[in-house]
Amino acid sequence: MKTKMYTFKKHLTYVLLLVLINISLTVFPQSLVIEQDRTRAGVCPSPESEACVTIIASKLLTLTFESNVDRTIVIASQKVVGKNIEYTLYFPTDRPEYFDRILTIYCQSFAKGATIPLLLGPKESELYYVHVTECYQNHLDKGFSFFKKCAYVDAKEEFRKAQEECADAPPNDDVKNQIMIIDSIEKLKKLAKESYEILDFKKGIEYYAAIASLNKEDEFARQRLIECRYENSRFCQLYLINARNYFDLQEYEKAAILYNKVIENNCGDNIELANVYLEKIEKTKEKKNELSTALTYQWAYKTPFGFSVGGYRDKKVSAFLTLLFNADLFEGFRANYAKAERPEFDASLGITIRPVKNRFVPAWLTIGAGYTSVVNFIEQSLEKPKWNFNHAISPELGILVKIPFGKNPKAGLALRYTFQYRFALDSDAKELVRPLNHIVGLGFCF
């Protein structure tokens, strides 16, 4: 009879337990919640005939225990297991009033406690979990509400509370990622503001677009993004107009800076046009850089005065001009005919070419065709004799060597040698026109 009574009371206790748990969930939605794990009930390890209850709760919860029957509750053990604390309580079972025992669990964070009706026989064991309901979700909802309003400081604080202060926070929550997103937005806002203030609209577009992608509700970032795009487009047109003006004025350095601005600022279809003009500017620079002009003073047989000037390019053919006047020609101009035995004038025009482009062989070939005129005077007994010009064709071949000055590839010392062979057009003038002529020159490249 006693056994049946015990069994009946035990079943009744379990029914009451379920009712009380449901009441606690309904009436106190933000208080402690008790859940029993029937799969892990076993034999109580008490050395006597006591029953035991194991309670597992988060380390964030500070729990205390009371009973309507027991004056004191024996906490047999209390140990930390991961993020939780595991309490083991012993209860005596040797008196009938213990069948009406109710265990109340309090947490210092809540005014009301949670109750567990206990009906335990000797050596029986039960396991319960204690957690807080809706703390995590409430802070999470508040955080997202602030986030949508772009109140990032308040949102971050709510997410922090959900992560650090709520015992019902899941172990693998996404709150950390949300806090990282807010940190990123705050950094981007600072960079975006700095870029906007210094009129760097390209960077402003990047930063405000990143903010808008992280929070689609950020209306300020979206408006600033539209403004930066408009201003950047306006600046692109100004860059193009001014760059073209500088290009037409042949101020290529300034034009290149502005065309590069078009590319750097991602000016859409104008980038292709900027690249075309940059290529033209580069070709113009190459043309200028490879061109070197040489001016040399020329000496030949009885020819103390002469000069040669020409262009000497690295990749393309250029031209040169040489003029030679001997001393007798000047004596003839001064009417000193006795000293003017054979006045001579020589002019040649040709091309220069660099056969081997090597910095160790800075040499150019000169190939040209010339005209030579040798004067003899008829009726020299007269006060003013007649000038008689004897003509000859003078093909020539030569070489020019440049010795650069310092780091400037165009400046340097120029050494020139030319071999000239002359063909007299009149057979009677063969004795006057020397068939071979050697010319040396010294000057500068610039």
**Range with the poorest average pLDDT among 83-87, 250-254, 374-378:** 374-378
Of 250, 266, 290, which one is at a domain's C-terminal end? 290
* 253 found inside a domain: yes
* 191 found inside a domain: yes
* 168 found inside a domain: no
For residues 306 and 402, state if they share a domain.
yes
For residues 43 and 93, state if they share a domain.
yes
Using pLDDT thresholds of 50, 70 and 90, give the confidence band for residue 15.
Answer: very low
For residues 246 and 187, state if they share a domain.
yes
* 423 found inside a domain: yes
Identify the pLDDT of residue 88. 92
Using pLDDT thresholds of 50, 70 and 90, give the confidence band for residue 96.
Answer: confident
For residues 317 and 214, state if they share a domain.
no
- pLDDT (mean) for 404-432: 81
What residues are paired with 390 via a beta bridge?
374
For residues 125 and 6, state if they share a domain.
yes
Which CATH number do you get for residue 270? 1.25.40
For residues 297 and 437, state if they share a domain.
yes
Identify the pLDDT of residue 73. 87
**Range with the poorest average pLDDT among 30-34, 46-50, 359-363:** 30-34
Question: Angle at Cα 225 formed by Cα 223 and Cα 228, nearest 5°?
Answer: 110
Are the C-beta atoms of residues 402 and 362 closer than 8 Å to each other? yes
Instruction: Return the SS3 of 134.
Output: coil
* 226 found inside a domain: yes
What residues are paired with 115 via a beta bridge?
104
pLDDT in tens, 150-175: 899 999 988 888 877 776 677 666 78
Instruction: Return the SS3 of 201.
Output: helix
Cα dist from 122 to 48, 53, 118, 129, 327, whole Å: 9, 12, 12, 22, 142
**Range with the poorest average pLDDT among 201-205, 300-304, 351-355, 406-410:** 406-410
Q: Which residue has the higher pLDDT, 396 or 26?
A: 396
For residues 387 and 352, state if they share a domain.
yes
Q: In terms of residue numbers, what domain contains 313?
A: 293-445
Q: Domain count of the chain?
A: 3
Using pLDDT thresholds of 50, 70 and 90, give the confidence band for residue 348.
Answer: very high
Percent of the chain with pLDDT over 70: 86
Identify the pLDDT of residue 17. 44
Identify the pLDDT of residue 365. 93
* 169 found inside a domain: no
Residue 218 burial by Cβ neighbours in a 10 Å radius (0-12, 13-18, 19+): buried
pLDDT in tens, 246-271: 888 878 888 888 888 777 777 777 77
Say if residue 8's pLDDT is above 70. Answer: no
Say if residue 125's pLDDT is above 80. Answer: yes
Of 255, 290, 325, which one is at a domain's C-terminal end? 290
Q: Which residue has the higher pLDDT, 2 or 210?
A: 210
For residues 221 and 238, state if they share a domain.
yes
For tokens 């065709």, name the residue. 369
* 154 found inside a domain: no
For residues 253 and 372, state if they share a domain.
no
For residues 308 and 257, state if they share a domain.
no
For residues 14 and 35, state if they share a domain.
yes
Which CATH number do you get for residue 335? 2.40.160.20
**Range with the poorest average pLDDT among 24-28, 138-142, 201-205:** 24-28
Are the C-beta atoms of residues 277 and 243 closer than 8 Å to each other? yes
Say if residue 2's pLDDT is above 50. Answer: no
For tokens 């500070």, name the residue. 62
Q: Which residue has the higher pLDDT, 420 or 58?
A: 420
Say if residue 233's pLDDT is above 90. Answer: no
Provide the mean pLDDT of the chain.
81
For residues 301 and 430, state if they share a domain.
yes
For residue 154, count other CB atoms closer than 10 A to its CB. 15
Say if residue 5's pLDDT is above 60. Answer: no
Q: Which residue has the higher pLDDT, 133 or 85?
A: 85
